[in-house]
Amino acid sequence: MRLLKFVPDNTNLHFLKWRKIAMAISILSIIASVALVATRGLNLGVDFVGGQMMRVTFSQPADLDALRGTVGAVVEGEANIQQFGAPNEVSIRTPLPEGGDDAATQAADRLKAAILKAHPDAVFGSVDTVSGKVSGELFSTGVWAMFFAMIAISIYIWFRFEWQFGMGALFALFHDVALTFGLFALTQMEFNLNIVAALLTIIGYSLNDTIVIYDRIRENLRKYRKMGLIELLDLSINETLARTIMTSLTMIITLVVLLLLGPEVIFGFTAAMLFGIFVGTYSSVYMSAPILVWTKVGSESFVAKAGGPVAGAERVSVNEQLPPR
Amino acid sequence: MLDFPRWKIWLVTLTTVIGCLFAVPSFLPDRVVAQLPGFMQARVNLGLDLSGGSHILLEASTQDVAAQRIQNMEEMIRTELRRSDARIAIGEMSTRNNQLSFMVRNASQVDAAVERIRPLTQGAGLTGQRDFNVEVRDGNTIVVTPTEAGVANAIESAMQVATEVIRKRIDEMGTREPTIIRQGSNRIVVQVPGLQDPAALKDLLGQTAKLEFKLVDTTANPADLARGIAPIGSEILPYPENPLGQPVIAVKRQVMVSGDELIDAQQAYDPQTNAPVVSIRFNGSGANKFARATQQNVNKPFAMILDGSVLSAPNINEPILGGSAQISGNFTVASANQLAISLRSGKLPVKLTVVEERTVGPDLGADSIRKGVLAGVIATVAVLVLMVAVYGRFGVYANLALVFNILMIVGVMAIFNATLTLPGIAGFVLTIGAAVDANVLINERIREEQRRGRSIIQTIETGYKEAQRAIFDANTTNVIAAALMFYFGSGPIKGFAVVLTIGIVTSVFTAVTVTRMFASFWLRSRPATLNI
Give per-residue pLDDT as tens, A150-168: 888 888 888 888 889 999 9
What distance in Å separates residue B368's CA from the closest CA in chain A?
5
pLDDT at A314 over 70: no
Confidence of residue A235 (pLDDT cuts 50, 70, 90): very high
Which amino acid belongs to residue B33? V
pLDDT at B303 over 80: yes
Confidence of residue A313 (pLDDT cuts 50, 70, 90): very low
- pTM given for the model: 0.79
B50-100: pLDDT as tens digits:
888 899 999 988 888 888 888 888 878 887 887 767 788 888 888 777 788
B157-197: pLDDT as tens digits:
889 989 988 888 888 877 777 889 888 888 999 988 887 77
- Beta carbons of B50 and B422 less than 8 angstroms apart: yes
CB contact under 8 A, B426 and A269: yes
Chain B residues with CB inside 8 Å of A269's CB?
423, 426
Confidence of residue B349 (pLDDT cuts 50, 70, 90): confident
Cα dihedral value A132, A136, A138, A141, nearest 10:
-160
Chain A residues with CB inside 8 Å of B188's CB?
none
Residue-level pLDDT at B128: 59
Confidence of residue A308 (pLDDT cuts 50, 70, 90): very low
CB contact under 8 A, A141 and B489: yes
Nearest to A129 among B356, B372, B478 (CB): B356
Q: What per-residue string of b and e applies to B193-204 under the rule 16 or more CB within 10 Å gives b?
A: bebbebeebbeb
Does residue A306 or residue B482 have the better pLDDT?
B482
Summarize the confidence of residues B129-134 as an average pLDDT: 80
Residue-level pLDDT at A299: 56
CB contact under 8 A, B422 and A153: no
Nearest to B359 among A4, A126, A265 (CB): A126
Confidence of residue A325 (pLDDT cuts 50, 70, 90): very low
Residue-level pLDDT at A318: 43
User: Which of A157, A215, A245 best probes binding to B when mutated, by most B CB atoms within 10 angstroms?
Assistant: A215
Cα dihedral value B1, B3, B9, B11, nearest 10:
-30
What distance in Å separates residue A127's CA from the closest CA in chain B?
5
Nearest to B531 among A3, A156, A253 (CB): A3
B217-235: pLDDT as tens digits:
888 887 888 888 888 888 8
Q: Which of A115-119, A129-133, A193-197, B454-458 has the least mean pLDDT?
A: A193-197
Q: How many CB atoms lie within 10 A of CB B241?
A: 12
CB contact under 8 A, B357 and A207: no
Distance CA A323, CA A310 (A): 18
Distance CA A317, CA A299 (A): 6
Q: Is A282 on the interface with B (CB under 8 A)?
A: no
pLDDT at A304 over 60: no
Q: What is the mean pLDDT of chain B?
A: 86
For chain B, the maximum distance between any two Cα atoms, rounded to a whole number of angstroms, is 109
Confidence of residue B126 (pLDDT cuts 50, 70, 90): low
Chain A residue with the nearest C-alpha to that of B378: A257
CB contact under 8 A, B426 and A124: no
- The DSSP output letter for A161 is S
pLDDT at A247 over 70: yes
What would you report as the CA-atom Rg of chain A, rounded to the nearest whole angstrom?
25
Residue-level pLDDT at A29: 95
Chain A residues with CB inside 8 Å of B491's CB?
193
- Beta carbons of B530 and B459 less than 8 angstroms apart: yes
* Bridge partners (DSSP) listed for residue A222: none
User: Which of B48, B54, B437, B499 best probes binding to A when mutated, by most A CB atoms within 10 angstroms?
Assistant: B437
Among residues 185-224 of chain A, which lie with CB inside 8 Å of chain B?
A: 193-194, 196-197, 200-201, 203-205, 207-208, 211-212, 215-216, 219
Q: Is A266 on the interface with B (CB under 8 A)?
A: yes
Residue-level pLDDT at B444: 93
Q: What's the complex ipTM?
A: 0.84
pLDDT at B42 over 80: yes
Chain A residues with CB inside 8 Å of B386's CB?
249-250, 253
